[in-house]
Amino acid sequence: MISGLRVCVVMPAYNAAKTVRRTVAEIDRSVADDMILVDDQSKDDTVRVAQELGLHVVVHSKNRGYGGNQKTCYAEALKRGADIVVMLHPDYQYSPRLLPAMAGMIASGHFDAVLGSRILGVGALAGGMPIWKYVANRFLTASENLLLGYKLAEYHTGYRAFSRRLLETLPLEENSDDFVFDNQMLAQAIWFGFHIGEISCPARYFPEASSIDFRRSVKYGFGVLGTALEFRAARLRLTKSPRFAETGRKLLPAVTE
């Protein structure tokens, strides 16, 4: 808990049995009030290990994809009373020790979303990010900053913290169930006027850390550009998109008095 706000850590998991223990071991339990792991039909012992660690575990009946997993993570966190939700991959690629800093930035009231950026500082290449991924990251980020009218060091990190208000406002059900969900979510946050902060985060690249291959990276890249162009077209009122509309489908039904 930070400043009286309940902090929930959510972990979208797929075949993370070898790394989830190391990830959870570095989470500050004095800050994290709740920890949720959503398993997307792993083929290893992820569920058993997570249960042994005392996590609240949700298991999908079928594989829903990375974006679909996140939708379950955030909906479950909101149902369990989270004020601040930190999304941390259980593959030990990002440092769990930064969780108090990221949650604290949300609790300060200055930011509605905080990103653990691999690009700020020397985290990406020093941690082993392949050079082709680094170059693609820089190109896509520059394109998005131009089209979205915002300025971030990186849009593609998987380490994120969000306020409850943001998660209740964004029409997240309108987004993809695939990897481009991450990008669509940030575009929505910018569209609805939320403030996004960043913190430098070291990253590790090793065999057990999850990573998409070249083919899926290309698909993701086109999806990123498509989202930015959709945002710009909607901003110019050339088209209407439920992704960028107050009436878009949200994670949880609105509460009526």
What number of H helices and E strands is found in the chain?
9, 7
**Torsion 91-92-94-98 (CA) sign:** positive
How far apart are the C-alpha atoms of 178 and 91, rounded to whole Å?
18
Domain ranges of the chain: 7-244
**Crossing angle of helices 181-191/214-235, nearest 10°?**
20
139 and 43 Cβ atoms separated by less than 8 Å: no
Which residues of the chain are modeled with pLDDT < 50? 254-257
DSSP character string of 101-168: HHHHHHHTTS-SEEEEESSSTTHHHHTT--HHHHHHHHHHHHHHHHHHT---S-S--S-EEEEHHHHH
Give first-to-last CA distance, the chain, whole Å.
28
pLDDT of residue 210: 57
Over residues 179-215, the pLDDT tens digits come to 999 999 999 999 999 999 999 998 877 666 556 677 8
pLDDT of residue 129: 77
Tell me the HSE value of 8 on the side-chain side, using a 13 A CA sphere. 24
Over residues 65-86, the pLDDT tens digits come to 999 999 999 999 999 999 999 9
pTM summary value: 0.91
Output DSSP code: residue 249: P
pLDDT of residue 208: 61
Is beta strand 84-87 parallel, antiparallel or unpaired with respect to 160-163?
A: antiparallel
pLDDT of residue 257: 31
The answer for residues whose C-beta is within 8 angstroms of residue 81's C-beta and 6 or more apart is: 6, 34
pLDDT of residue 120: 82
pLDDT of residue 146: 96
Distances (CA, A) of 34 to 22, 143, 202: 17, 37, 24
How far apart are the C-alpha atoms of 45 and 17, rounded to whole Å?
5
Is beta strand 7-13 parallel, antiparallel or unpaired with respect to 34-39?
A: parallel
pLDDT of residue 211: 60
pLDDT of residue 167: 98
CATH of domain 7-244: 3.90.550.10
